[in-house]
Structure 1
Amino acid sequence: MSTILAARYHQGKPQAAVMGEGRGYFKHIHCQYSPVCLILSPLALLLLGTGIAAMLVALIGIPKMTITTTTTTATTATTATTTTATTTTATTTTTATTTTATTSTTSTTISPVGIYALTISTCATWNDTGLTMGGNSNGIPGSNLESLSTPVSIFIDNDDNLFVCDRDNVRILKFTPNSTTGIIVAGNGTAGNESNQLRGPKGVAIDQYGDIIVADSDNNRIQKFVNGSTSGITLASNSSINPLGQMKDLHIDVNNNIYVTDYDNNQVVKFIPFSSIGVVVAGGRPAGPGTNQLSGPFGNFVGPNGTLYVADDQNFRVMKYFPGSLNGTIVAGNGTAGSNAYQLTRSMSIIVDNNGYIYVADYGNARVMRWTTNYAAGGVCVIGCTGTSGAAATQLRNPRDLKFDRHGNIYVTDQGNHRIQKFLIQGCSSKSPK
C-alpha cells in the first residue's frame, strides 16, 4: 500500500517547527488514500509539470529581464465623534485619524530591444528600389530635421523607430514610423565634450531599458542617454588602463553587454554592464592579416549565442569569432580588394540572419553582398546591384551600415547620398540575387 506525503502549514509555536522559524512552519503528515490526498496528488503532479514546462521555455527563449516595482500607498481615514452634555448644554467633538498603508507589487518583463526572432527564408530577396526613411531622397545634405549630413550607424527598435548617427550634425535623430522628420534625442548640434554634446558620433544602439547608447567617437567615450533625457552619462572613456581610440561601431547583445570597434587599436572591446573597463574580444595586436589580427576594423555584430562578427575593413574581409576565442575565421572576402563574388572593397558593416547568412555593406562597390554558410562559394549581391554608384532609388553611394527591422526589411545607411534607404523583403520570388 503506497503512502502519500502531504504538508500542512501551522501558525506560531516555532519551537515545534519541523521547517522554518518565526511565523510558522510546515508539518509533514502521512495519508493513505484519504480524500484530501487523492485531490492533492493529481494537483501536485499538474503543478510540477507546469513548472517544468515553464523552465524549459525560459531556457530556450531569448534572455529576458524582469523588473519588480513595489508601490506603497497611504490611505487616511478621519472619524468624527460628537458628544453632547445636557447639564451645561456643551458640545464636544473628537476627531480620530487612522492611516492604513497598502503595498502593491508589479513585475514587468522586458525583452532585448532590436533582437528579433526573425525567420528569413534562404531564398529571400529584397526589392531593388529603396524607400527614403531619413534624409533627402535626392542625396543632398542638410541640417534641418528632414535632412542628414554624413550619417553613419543606424538602429531600428521593436516599434520600427529608426535612430541615426547624424555625424556631421553631431546629433542622434529618431524617426518614428511613417515620418521623415527627425526628433533630436542626443546631442545639441554643436560639437563638444559636455554631457549634452557629442563629437563625431559613429555608433548607436538602444538597450533593454530604452536608453540610448552612443559611441561618441571623437571624444573617445561611450555615452548613455537615459530614456527621455538629453544629458549623457559616461559609461567608459579612454584612459591608460582602458585605451579607447576612434570607435567605428557599437553593438549591444541580449545580455546588455556593449561591443565597440576600436579602429585605432585594431580591436573589438566588450564592456559588461556596470563596468567601465573593457575586455578585448578580437584583435588587440598590431595591424596585420593573421587570423588573430585586425586592420582598421569598422562594424561588428554579435549573435544570440555570443558569436562575434567583425568587418575587417583594411583586410577586405569579415572575421568570425566564437565566444572566448581570439583566433578568428574568414567568412567573407578573400583579403584583396575587388568587385567579383569573392571580394570586397572596404567592408564597413555586417548583419547576420537566422540562417547564419552574412550581409555586408560593401562600401567601395556601392552594394550589399550576402554570403551563405558555404563561404567558399563566394557572395551574391542583394541590394544596389546596378554595378554603378549613384543617387537613384535603385542605387547606393558608399553604404556605411545596415540593419534588419522586425519584418526582415533591410535599412541601409547610404552615406554618400546622406540618406537612409529601406528595402522591402519580398520573400522567395523569381528574382535571383545578382
Structure 2
Amino acid sequence: MSLNEIVSELAPGNITTVAGAGYSTGVPAKEADAGWPVGVVRRPDGEIIVADYHGNRLWRIDKDGILHNFAGDGVPGTSGDGGPASEARFFLPHDLSQDRKGNLYLSDLGNQTYRRIDFETGIVTRVAGTGKVGRGGDGGLAVDSELDTNCGIAVDDDGNIFLSSEWANNVKRVDAKTGIIETFAGQDARHHPSEVGDSKPYFGPKLSLGGYHGDGGPASEAGFNHPEHLAFDSKGDLYICDNSNHRIRKIDMKTGIINTVLGNGQAASNGDGGPATEASTLMPDSICLDVHDNLYVGEKYGYRVRKVEAKTGIVTTLAGNGVPGYGEEGLHGSETHVNSCEVGIYADPDGTVFWGDCSGRLRRYDGETGIVTTVLGGTSIHDGEDATKGFLNGPGGMSLGPDGHVYIADVWGQRIRAIDPESGLIRTVAGNGARAHGGDNGPAPEAYLGNPYDVSVDVEGRVVIADTRHGHVRRVDSDGIIRNLAGSGEQWDKGDGGPAIGAHLIQVMAVSHSPDGSVYIGDSAAGRIRRVDAQTGIIDTIAGTGTPGYTGDGGPATAARVGGPFDICFDVDG
C-alpha cells in the first residue's frame, strides 16, 4: 500500500505508523535497533548491560546475544525508586559502573541524579542528586545535594561513589557508610567553553574558569576542563577523562597526587607507538581499564579507540582511522570508521573491547583478530525498504516536497530521509550517518551532518537542512549536490546585512521557506528568527533581539525577545 493510500484511509483520531520500526526485544541484539548506546558493562553473570541515552532505558544482552529490556520503558521520567528497575523511568541514562557485587550504578543525566540497581533484587534507588540543578551540598547527604550536569560515575572497592560534573569541573565523593558528599578533586569552577583547541594552563583565582593545572600536586587543587568519565584500576587509583584538556589524568589514591597518563594537551590524535604522555588525544570521552590495568580510551573527535599498555606506557590505536563514518561490518580495526566514541567503553580480560558509537550502535573489537563488528543497533539503515521497517533515530522536523515525498530529519541518525508516496519506500537524501561536518559541493548522501533537527523543501524540490550542531544551514539542489546556504561555521551571533554564508549562527533548530522562496532560520540559542533573501542571499533578523526570552508583544518583532524558536511555518497569507 502506498503512503498516499495509508493517509487517505486513516480514520479521524487514529494513529498509524508510516515510518520507523521502533524498538524490538527477544531478537538478536545485532539485528535490533537502538537509540544511542552509551554506558556499557559486563555483569558477573556474563550478560552485557547497555545504557540507551535516547531510548531512555537500559538494555540487557544475554549470553546468546538476545536483546531484552532491563530497566525503563522508554518514556522519559524519574519515577520508580524503591521498586523494580524494569518498571522505573529514566531520562537520558548516561554512564554505567558496577561494584564488586555486581550492583549497577548509573548517571541519570536528564534527571540530574545518580541511581543504583541492586544485582540480587533489581530494585532501583537514588544515591545522589535531588533532581534540581545546583552547586554545593558538600558536607550533607548526597541524596539532598543539587548537582550540575552529572556525568561520570565509578565505585571503589569499599563502595564509595565518585561522581564527575563536567560543568562544575570537579569530582565528588559519596561516602559508602554515611552517604555524605564532598568535593574530592577540582574546584567548583564556572564552565570553560568546550573548544577543539589545545588545553591552556590556567593559574587564576579559585571559583573561576576551568582549565588545566595541578599535575604533580594535590588533586583537590587541580583544574579540569570538562571532566567526563571515571574508572578505577586494580590498585584503586582513579582515572579521569579531562575532556577539553585533551588528557587522561590519574589520582594516586594513597597520596592524593594527580598526574597525566595520556595526552600532551594538544588538540590532536597522534603519537601511536610512543609514550602515552607524549602523544595527543583529541577530546577523550570514555575510559575503562581491564584486569591487567591496560587503559582503553574512546575519543570524541579523534574518532578512535586507543589503548595504553600498563607495562610499557605505550599508546596504540585499536579501531578507527581518524575519519568519522558509519563503519562497515567485519573490517579490521585499522580500516574501519569510528564515530564519536562518547561515554561508554568496556574491555574483557582477553582484550575484546565494546564501545558505544554515536551512529546508534554498540560495537565490538575482537582482541584476537582485531576485527570490528556490531553487537547492538543493527547493521543496515534499511534504505530501499518499506518505511515502516526502517529505523529513525530521533525523527525531528518534517516537510512535504512538491512531488509528494515526505522528508524527515533523522536527528540522531545524522541523516535526512525521504519516503516515496507511491511505493512507501524510504531512502537517504543527505548524510552518511557520521556526526561531523564536511562534504559540501559533493553528493549529499556522502556528506556529514550534525544532529539535523529540521528540514524544509521548496517548490522546486530543493531540500534545506538545519545542520544544528555546527551552526549551518545547508541545501541539497536538484543535482543531488549539497552546498552551504548560511553559516560560516563560527558559532556566534552576527552577520546581519551581509551574505548568509558569512554570517554566524549558533544553534539552528528550525528552517522554513516563505512563499517567495526565502529561507527562514530559527536560531534557538541566539533567540532570533533570521531570513535569507531568495534573490540576494543576504541575511537579516526579522524577529528577536539576540537574547532569548518572552517580551515585546504588540511592538516590532525585531525588538521582541524570542525564547528559542524550534519551528517555523507560514499561513496562506505568507
Query: What is the TM-score with the length of structure 2 in the denominator?
Result: 0.44
Quote the Cα distance in structure 1 between the aligned partners of 2:96 and 2:43: 16
User: Given residue 259 of structure 2, which amino acid in structure 1 is its aligned partner?
Assistant: V
Quote the Cα distance in structure 1 between the aligned partners of 2:75 and 2:44: 36
Deviations 1:272-325 (A, max 9, x none): 114444110011321112121111111111123221111012111111112376
Q: Are 1:378 and 2:371 matched, yes or no?
A: yes
Q: Highest Rg: 1 or 2?
A: 1
Deviations 1:203-244 (A, max 9, x none): 111111111111132221111111143431222114643221
Asked if the contact 1:270–1:280 (Cα under 8 Å) also holds between the matched residues in 2, the reply is yes
Deviations 1:73-94 (A, max 9, x none): xxxxxxxxxxxxxxxxxxxxxx
Deviations 1:176-207 (A, max 9, x none): 24766631111222222222332111111111
5+ long unaligned stretches in structure 2: 1-40, 48-61, 81-87, 139-144, 188-205, 207-212, 215-221, 272-278, 330-335, 382-390, 395-410, 414-450, 452-574
Query: Which of 196, 202, 213 is 2:162 aligned to?
Result: 213
Q: CA deviation at 1:128?
A: 3.5
Query: Which of 134, 137, 160 is 1:194 aligned to?
Result: 137
Any residues of structure 2 matched to 1:119-130 within 5 Å, and which? Answer: 126-130=64-68
Query: Which of 301, 314, 318 is 1:314 aligned to?
Result: 301
Quote the Cα distance in structure 2 between the aligned partners of 1:202 and 1:179: 26
Which residue of structure 2 lines up, in the alignment, with residue 50 of structure 1?
none
Query: Which of 176, 182, 194 is 1:227 aligned to?
Result: 176
Which residue of structure 2 lines up, in the alignment, with residue 368 of structure 1?
362
Which residue of structure 2 lines up, in the alignment, with residue 346 of structure 1?
340
Indicate the SS of the match to 2:244. Answer: coil
Deviations 1:156-192 (A, max 9, x none): 2343322111112111111224766631111222222
Q: Are 1:255 and 2:235 matched, yes or no?
A: yes
Any residues of structure 2 matched to 1:26-425 within 5 Å, and which? Answer: 126-133=64-71, 135=72, 137=73, 139-145=74-80, 146-177=88-119, 182-191=124-133, 192-195=135-138, 196-238=145-187, 240-241=213-214, 242-291=222-271, 292-323=279-310, 327-339=314-326, 340-341=328-329, 342-348=336-342, 349-363=344-358, 365-374=359-368, 378-388=371-381
Quote the Cα distance in structure 1 between the aligned partners of 2:368 and 2:123: 42
Asked if the contact 1:128–1:383 (Cα under 8 Å) also holds between the matched residues in 2, the reply is no
Q: CA deviation at 1:390?
A: 5.6
Quote the Cα distance in structure 2 between the aligned partners of 1:379 and 1:202: 27
Q: CA deviation at 1:398?
A: 7.0
Asked if the contact 1:164–1:204 (Cα under 8 Å) also holds between the matched residues in 2, the reply is yes
Asked if the contact 1:281–1:324 (Cα under 8 Å) also holds between the matched residues in 2, the reply is no
Structure 1 pair 331/308, CA: closer, same or farther in 2 (3 Å)? same
Asked if the contact 1:371–1:380 (Cα under 8 Å) also holds between the matched residues in 2, the reply is yes
Quote the Cα distance in structure 2 between the aligned partners of 1:131 and 1:391: 18
Quote the Cα distance in structure 2 between the aligned partners of 1:216 and 1:386: 34
Structure (1/2) with the larger strand percentage: 1
Asked if the contact 1:298–1:310 (Cα under 8 Å) also holds between the matched residues in 2, the reply is yes
Q: CA deviation at 1:153?
A: 0.6
Quote the Cα distance in structure 2 between the aligned partners of 1:301 and 1:288: 21
Quote the Cα distance in structure 1 between the aligned partners of 2:115 and 2:162: 13
Quote the Cα distance in structure 2 between the aligned partners of 1:118 and 1:159: 11
Indicate the SS of the match to 2:301. Answer: helix
User: Given residue 355 of structure 1, which amino acid in structure 2 is its aligned partner?
Assistant: D
User: Given residue 384 of structure 1, which amino acid in structure 2 is its aligned partner?
Assistant: G
Q: CA deviation at 1:249?
A: 0.6
Quote the Cα distance in structure 2 between the aligned partners of 1:272 and 1:398: 38
Quote the Cα distance in structure 2 between the aligned partners of 1:362 and 1:126: 22
5+ long unaligned stretches in structure 1: 1-113, 400-415, 417-434
Structure 1 pair 252/273, CA: closer, same or farther in 2 (3 Å)? same
Structure 1 pair 255/221, CA: closer, same or farther in 2 (3 Å)? same
Asked if the contact 1:317–1:330 (Cα under 8 Å) also holds between the matched residues in 2, the reply is yes
Larger relative contact order (Cα-Cα within 8 Å, sequence gap ≥ 6): 1
Deviations 1:114-152 (A, max 9, x none): 9988889xxx9642423232x3x2x22113232222221
How high is the sequence identity, in percent, across the aligned residues? 20
Quote the Cα distance in structure 2 between the aligned partners of 1:303 and 1:253: 8
Query: What is the TM-score with the length of structure 1 in the denominator?
Result: 0.57
Structure 1 pair 206/390, CA: closer, same or farther in 2 (3 Å)? farther
Quote the Cα distance in structure 2 between the aligned partners of 1:116 and 1:151: 18
Quote the Cα distance in structure 1 between the aligned partners of 2:147 and 2:255: 22
RMSD: 3.1
Aligned length: 275
Deviations 1:54-107 (A, max 9, x none): xxxxxxxxxxxxxxxxxxxxxxxxxxxxxxxxxxxxxxxxxxxxxxxxxxxxxx
Structure 1 pair 140/164, CA: closer, same or farther in 2 (3 Å)? same
